[in-house]
Structure 1
């Protein structure tokens, strides 16, 4: 009996621990391209996900999202807080600030991946994680908001709905 209870408790913990949107590759060097694969493990409390929104953090430039069959792809663009050097002597002052996949359907019983590519500028702080807030929207107005960012010195493991985090490594 103890084995069954322990097994059920471990399964519940594993489900809760993996129940949020995460990045497939969780560390990358600054001053380089990065392919962000957002692993989305479920819908909203039984309802399918039909919109996924990813907020692009400052210092991630040149973002290009990957289209998904059956989903509409939109980008929101805006000015960066400052000008950033990019490839081949080009300087970028604006670009994609949010990526939105909509109109598809990710049933609660399945998982999917949403992908974008960007460039991690050299001046990003390698002493702190970089967070990508993600919102999953579902029919009827339900949503799962993976947008919490821990205060300085705190751990994301203490949060109920942490934003996917990327550990930044020094430039190669």
Structure 2
């Protein structure tokens, strides 16, 4: 009896699953059949009245589109204006005061230098008209870090003596390691 009952339950479940999938397949088949039939009919059986409706709706859209865009632009500008006013109120509530200490000073310690910061900034070194030359020649300007590196390099060049400026005799004197000099150094 237990075996009979279990086989009956299995048959009932199989029939229910089969019926469910048959109905699901029939539903999907109906959707596809109607879609393709109506899609074909919408182009094959077009009347003058239908073409008039399509053309009229396109013309109305073209006429109303600029007004629709202006409306949404107005909404956007209004929201931006509200946000701007809110920020201005917050700034006014703070009193428009600047911080007593800059963020770089907090990070870098007492002198305010940040790791990797160059000593001479553009404010400290005078301009030699390089920007005017760059603009006139059409060459894009250097970025800030490249300009700082170049100015630091030029400053270091001015401090030290370059080998190009030395005469040939001076270079030979620097390179000459005679025995006399070596003996003089030992004696001293």
TM-score w.r.t. structure 2 length?
0.15
Structure with greater contact order relative to length (CA < 8 Å, sep ≥ 6) = 1
Between Structure 1 and Structure 2, the one with more strand by share is 1
Greater C-alpha Rg? 2
Greater fraction of residues in helix: 2
Report the TM-score when normalising by structure 1: 0.16
